[in-house]
Amino acid sequence: MRNNAFALMIPAALLLSACTTVEPVIKDNGPRTAPCIEGGPDQVAQQFYDLRIEQPTQGLPDSNTLAKYRPYLSDALYHSLQAASGSNAGAQWRNGDLFSSLSQGPTAASVADASTIPNRDARNIPLRVDLSRDGKQWQDEVLMIHQGSCWVVDDVRYMANPAHAEGGSLSQMLEKSKKITSGLTVQRSAVAPGRCAFFISAARPAAARCSQAVHDIVLSFCG
C-alpha cells in the first residue's frame, strides 16, 4: 500500500512542477554607484542616441560631454573613453562619430524593441539600431548590459560597410588606442639563476626615448 502511494506521488509532483512558472531573474554585471537612466534596455539606448543626435560631437568626447554621457554608459566604457580622451592617441580621432559606423554620424536613429529578444534573463542584450543621414541608411548594434539596477551602453558594434578601419567595434578602437598610448612592450626572460633580462620594444619614437629609463628601472628588480 505504501509503495502504491509513493508511486502516485511521483507523477503528481511532476504535474505540479509543470504548472509552476518561474519568473526570470535579470543577472547584473556588478554594482554601480554612478547615476543612471530609468527604463528598459531599448528605452535607455534610444535616449542615448537621441542625445547624440541633438548634441552631435566628433571624435572622443571631452570631459563635459563625457559627464553628460555618464548615466548612459557602463563603468568599463566610461573609463575607457575617459582614458582615451586624456591620451595623446586622441589626436587621431578628432574627426568622425565613434558611436557610428559612418564617420558623419546619424541624424535619425531607431533602436529595436527589446521585447523581441528571446532570452529575457540575459545580462547582455544586443540591439540593432536603424540609422540614417542625408538619404543614407545603415545598421549598427548597441550592446546593453544590466549593471546594478540600470541598463547601460557597454559597446557599439559597427555593421555598415565600410566601417571604421581601426576596429569592428567601439571597444576595439579604444583598446587599440590604449596599446598605442602605452608604446612600450616589456618582456621578461630568465637567462640564469638569480638573473633576468628584459627586452624592450618601442612602438613610437617618443617611447624609444623612454626605453633607457625603463631599462634602468626594471634592472633594479633583477638583482
Cα separation, 156 vs 32, whole angstroms:
20
pLDDT in the model for residue 53: 97
Q: Do residues 111 and 158 share a domain?
A: yes
Q: Do residues 162 and 206 share a domain?
A: no
Q: Do residues 215 and 197 share a domain?
A: yes
In one-letter notation, the amino acid at residue 101 is S
10 in a structural domain: no
Cα separation, 58 vs 77, whole angstroms:
17
pLDDT in the model for residue 191: 40
Residue range 48-78, pLDDT digits in tens? 999 999 999 988 999 999 999 999 999 999 9
pLDDT in the model for residue 89: 56
- Which helix or strand (DSSP H or E) is residue 67 part of? helix 63-69
C-alpha to C-alpha distances, 151 to 9, 14, 199, nearest whole angstrom? 44, 37, 44
E-assigned strands of 91-216? Answer: 108-111, 124-133, 136-147, 150-158, 184-192, 195-202
15 in a structural domain: no
25 in a structural domain: no
Q: Do residues 90 and 189 share a domain?
A: no
Q: Let me know: does 35 contact 71? Beta carbons within 8 Å.
A: yes
Own/partner long-range contacts of 65-71 (Cβ < 8 Å, ≥24 apart) = 70/34, 70/35, 71/34, 71/35, 71/36, 71/37, 71/150
pLDDT, tens digit only, all 223 positions of the chain: 545 544 444 444 444 344 433 334 445 567 788 899 999 999 999 999 999 999 999 889 999 999 999 999 999 999 999 998 877 655 556 678 999 999 899 999 999 998 876 665 678 899 999 999 999 999 999 999 999 889 999 999 999 887 666 678 999 988 877 765 554 444 444 444 444 444 444 444 444 444 444 344 333 334 4
Q: Counting Cβ atoms within 10 Å, is residue 194 exposed (0-12), middle (13-18) or buried (19+)? A: exposed
pLDDT in the model for residue 92: 59
pLDDT in the model for residue 181: 53
Domain hosting 197: range is 184-219
Q: Of 102, 109, 104, 122, whose CA–CA distance to 163 is shortest?
A: 102
CATH of the domain at 163: 3.10.450
pLDDT in the model for residue 85: 83
pLDDT in the model for residue 118: 63
Residue 59, phi-psi category: left (phi > 0), alpha (psi -120 to 50), beta (remainder): left
pLDDT in the model for residue 217: 38
197 in a structural domain: yes
